[in-house]
Chains A and B, each alone.
Chain A
Amino acid sequence: MQASAGSGRDQILLEARGITKYFGAVTALEGVNLKLSRGEVLGVVGDNGAGKSTLMKVLSGLFRPSEGEILIQGQPVQFNSPRDSHKAGIEMVYQDLALAGNMPIFENIYLGREPGRRVGGLTIVNHAESRKLAAEHLARLQIHVKSVDQNVEDLSGGQRQAVAIARATAFDAKVVIMDEPTAALAIKEVGKVLDLIKRLKDHGVGVILISHRMDDVFYVCDRVMAIFHGRNFAEAPLKDTNRNEVIGWIMGTKGHAAGLAHDKVH
């Protein structure tokens, strides 16, 4: 989460070039490009099955791209597993949250990267340290929970989302990818999660937000790009577009003038 020294705001953190992904005979992605700068929130929109989630799984190392390359701060990288993308500073918050409900908050935050002593190939976990770090990290993100010892299954949807985001940012993440972070939340919890995204942005983290909710996109994003049938369809800074145009992109239409919008009030 720390800003690396001397880096400008427009520095490209993450770049994907010509990403193509086949699943057997199915082409899920074809030549998709994506750029993300420090402290930028990029909204990625597209209809169900457009390829958003596949693209994010490629970026987070869960899928290997069939073609194309990924660059981190200009350096080409290859991800063979989520572990590789973690090392490169890319974290993903999954739609289904990917938390172990049977385990406490602090263990979920450090799952797979437990602080502790390495003894002969095994890590002896320092649970006290883990608890302390988790509490400090949650406080930094202004996430309030009763206790870091609470099991995740005892939390509300919004709290779980917050824990998932906390986990994603616990290790100086440069890029956090969020797949529909507000889809399963009660309305009053949505605002908290969106504010959390703004806080990440203030810390210099680049955020990719996949969302169907135009309210979310237009509340937190700096730029929005649309994917249609597995390809780049359109892209614009948020200030140069509007909801109706973006909704048109999702459906695969361009030049959707504001005047044609069905909900235009004359």
Chain B
Amino acid sequence: MTSAILISILMTLVAASTPILLAALGELVVEKAGVLNLGVEGMMLTGAVAGFAVAYSSGSTTLGLIAALAAGVATAMIFAVLTLSLTANQVATGLALTIFGIGASSLIGAGFVGRTITRLGPVFPEALAGHPLLRAVFGHDIVVYLSLALVLAVSLFLRKTRPGLVLRAVGENDASAHAIGYPVIAIRYGAIAFGGALAGLGGAYFSLALTPMWADRLTAGRGWIALALVVFAAWRPGRLLLGAYLFGAVMTLELQAKAAGITWLAPELLAMAPYLATIAVLTMMSLGRKTGRLDAPACLGKPFSAS
């Protein structure tokens, strides 16, 4: 009985963590390349609405996921053109991108409000996915496994491969990387596209897996949590995984409390918990500036123009 409860807690925790894990992982790569894209929330929303619209029209969640990826990349490209090619301020552009994403997703999603689709199902056959114990391992959908594989892949990419080394170099000292002969702008375009793809995918996880139904501002500020998570993880993919699941746990507190029949604590307070945790983490990080500064890519947020 207790194991069944634990497993069900685990399942909700993983599901809640996956979208922020994806979005944060994408943003981690972007920031490692020296770009601060605060538009994660906006990219998640355009991904969410595009994924839902395509899945609803075609009946295929796979097509929906692909559409979400593409929409995330497309939104990210707006940011990339503005900040890289036109050297607009990254912070302002990122904030604008979020506002744009909120508006665009509301507009596109207006006709879909309240519609439902078939939820993204588990990958493995019912015998495994429905097994009371084994479902803890085999009961997840494709995006969960993909997110875990991506954490490993990004970690290896950054630490072990030459392109990963070059990407870090661009984030560490763009002028030097340019002087040596690396295409700083092209590499940053690539990183931003990757970040957009993962943010779009993360957003679509809300509309295709968590709540297979469209509602306005579906992601509810999770993009900001993803941004905080990158700092919390000190730009390390392994710590990012840990952090995402920790935040996932905090986020599901409300549900768990309800399930456990706790009534003395207002559910609204528990719903606030992840945002309070975000503020707490960011405050702690800025207090411990000594480590925070060392970990951050040295060129983070600085515009670069080849002269």
Partners in one complex: no
